[in-house]
Amino acid sequence: MVSSTALSVLAALLLLAAAGAPASAAEKETRLRVYWHDVVSGGPNATAVQVAEAPSSNASATGFGSVVVIDNSLTDGPNLTSRLLGRAQGVYVSAGKDSLSLFVAMNFVFIDGEYNGSSIAIIGPNRADPAVREMPVVGGTGVFRFARGYCQLRTHWFDAKTGDATVEYKIHLRHD
Ligand X SMILES: *[C@@H]1O[C@H](CO)[C@@H](O)[C@H](O)[C@H]1NC(C)=O
Binding site residues, ligand X, CB under 6 A: 42-43, 45, 57-58, 79, 81, 111-112, 116-117
What are residue 6's phi and psi, to 5 degrees?
-60, -40
Q: Between residues 76 and 134, which has the closer beta carbon with respect to ligand X? A: 76
Amino acid at 31: R
Q: Report d(CA 71, CA 143) in Å as an integer.
A: 22
* In the complex, least distance from residue 65 CB atom to ligand X, rounded to whole angstroms: 9
* In the complex, least distance from residue 24 CB atom to ligand X, rounded to whole angstroms: 28
* In the complex, least distance from residue 100 CB atom to ligand X, rounded to whole angstroms: 17
Q: Between residues 24 and 45, which has the closer beta carbon with respect to ligand X? A: 45
Q: Between residues 74 and 135, which has the closer beta carbon with respect to ligand X? A: 74
Classify residue 128 as left (phi > 0), alpha (psi -120 to 50) or beta. Answer: alpha
* In the complex, least distance from residue 120 CB atom to ligand X, rounded to whole angstroms: 16
173 Cβ contact list (under 8 Å, min separation 6): 29, 30, 31, 32, 120, 137, 140, 144, 147, 148, 149
Q: Between residues 112 and 134, which has the closer beta carbon with respect to ligand X? A: 112
